[in-house]
Amino acid sequence: MNALTPLPFFDTLTTATDVDKNHLLSAPIIQRGLEGRINIDDYLGFLQQAYHHVKHTVPLLMAVGSRLPEEQEWLRQAVAEYIEEEIGHQEWILNDIATCGYDSDVVRHGRPNPATELMIAYAYDTVMRVNPVGFFGMVHVLEGTSVSIAETVADNVRGTLGLPQNAFSYLYSHGSLDKEHVTFFEGLMNRIDSPQDQAQVIHSARMFYRLYGDLFRSLDDVSHNIPRTA
């Protein structure tokens, strides 16, 4: 690639959001997870908030698909594939909580932390009011983070807490599944040629790195309050 050839949009997106990614990865609980210093309260708090945002993934994808214009039918088809892949993943999280010996129904019927609620509200606002393509900024952040750290954190936390492997089905599955998704996502982003859509994806990704980082930081401030079942 010579100096006159523009970068593929996925590469531009990655470069443009590097600083924002560092805000997320520098969250204290992520650093503790990478170093194997997580306690059960940390892990349950993460699962609790993961449930409260993951359960919105499919409804958000459905909203995206319904709002894409006809000329982006190729992207709507990709959204349909995402929906098929993502259905029911929130139940994996509840199963992990139950496997740890805690009451998953309390999480199912509870409320998210304010930081989690704000991130989801921003996602819906972007899709419904601004530009549905902006949702792919969230995809870039969540799936890219899973590929970067999910399996490492799962291995470290599992070793520290002595929990069985099936108490980490969400982290392990997303670490491997999202590797495939990122390749698929890269291809999609490189087909987005509208400068307005590209700018929206970059802006949304920067916002989601900030909001997702705030979600992780909030875990140090709020107890999970999930009762044991055993």
Asked whether the beta carbons of 47 and 107 are under 8 A apart, the reply is yes
Give the position of tokens 């006809």.
Answer: 70
Q: Which alpha helices (DSSP H) does the chain contain, by range?
A: 9-16, 18-25, 28-34, 40-54, 57-67, 73-86, 89-99, 104-108, 114-125, 135-145, 151-161, 169-189, 195-218
Q: Which 8-state DSSP code applies to residue 6?
A: P
Going from the C-alpha of 210 to that of each of 54, 83, 119, 213, 221, the distances in angstroms are 17, 25, 9, 5, 17
Asked whether the beta carbons of 15 and 205 are under 8 A apart, the reply is no
101 contacts: CB under 8 Å, gap ≥ 6: 228, 229, 230
Low-confidence ranges of the chain (pLDDT < 50): 1
> What pLDDT score does 145 carry?
86
b/e 167-184 (16+ beta carbons within 10 angstroms → b): bbbbbbbbbebbeebbee
> What pLDDT score does 224 carry?
78
Tokens representing 88? Answer: 């029911």
| CATH topology assigned to domain 10-218 | Heme Oxygenase; Chain A (1.20.910)
User: Per-domain residue ranges for the chain?
Assistant: 10-218
> What pLDDT score does 199 carry?
98
Q: How many Cα neighbours within 13 Å face the side chain of 117?
A: 5
> What pLDDT score does 5 carry?
62
> What pLDDT score does 148 carry?
77
